Amino acid sequence: MSDLRASAARESQSGPFETGDLAHMALPNIGTPNTEMLHRRGKRLAGLSGLALIVVGLCTAAAAEAGQASSSLPTNFAVPTRVETPDFKLVPLGPDLVDIDFKAYMSSIDYLQRTFTRSTDWPHKDISHADAMRDMETERERFRKRQSFAYAVLTPDGRRELGSVYVSPKAVGPYDGVVRMWVTKAEYDAGFDAKLYQWVRGWMRKAWPFAKVAYPGRSIDWKTWDSLVAAKQTP
* Nearest partner of 141 among 63, 62, 24, judged by Cα: 24
Cα–Cα distances (Å) from 23 to 79, 95, 109, 141, 162, in that order, read: 21, 17, 25, 9, 27
Domain boundaries, the chain: 3-22+71-233, 35-68
211 pLDDT tier (thresholds 50, 70, 90):
very high
55 pLDDT tier (thresholds 50, 70, 90):
very low
Q: Give the mean pLDDT of 182-189.
A: 98
Q: Give the mean pLDDT of 23-49.
A: 42
Torsion from C-alpha of 50, 52, 58, 62, nearest 10 degrees: -150
Helical (H) or strand (E) element with 194: helix 192-207
pLDDT at 234: 81
pLDDT at 233: 86
111 pLDDT tier (thresholds 50, 70, 90):
very high
pLDDT at 71: 61
Least confident of 2-6, 153-157, 225-229: 2-6
CA 34-35-40 angle, to 5 degrees, is 105
* Nearest partner of 111 among 102, 120, 103, judged by Cα: 120
Pure H helices in 116-191: 129-144, 185-189
pLDDT at 175: 96
**Across the chain, where does the E strand assignment appear?**
83-84, 89-92, 149-154, 161-168, 177-183, 213-214
pLDDT at 9: 52
Its CATH class, for the domain covering 3-22+71-233, is alpha beta
Task: Determine the Cα–Cα distance for residues 110 and 4; give it in Å rounded to an integer.
Answer: 15
Tens digit of each residue's pLDDT (9 = 90 or more) over 57-89: 434 333 333 334 346 799 999 999 999 999 999
pLDDT at 4: 55
Tens digit of each residue's pLDDT (9 = 90 or more) over 186-198: 999 999 999 999 9
Does residue 154 have a pLDDT over 70? yes
pLDDT at 7: 56
Task: Determine the Cα–Cα distance for residues 31 and 221; give it in Å rounded to an integer.
Answer: 41
Is the full-model pTM beyond 0.95?
no
8 pLDDT tier (thresholds 50, 70, 90):
low
Task: Determine the Cα–Cα distance for residues 66 and 181; give it in Å rounded to an integer.
Answer: 28
Task: Determine the Cα–Cα distance for residues 99 and 154; give it in Å rounded to an integer.
Answer: 13
pLDDT at 76: 95
Considering only residues 170 and 13, tell me which one the structure prediction assigns the higher pLDDT.
Answer: 170
129-144 helix and 98-106 helix, angle to the nearest 10 degrees: 120
Considering only residues 147 and 9, tell me which one the structure prediction assigns the higher pLDDT.
Answer: 147
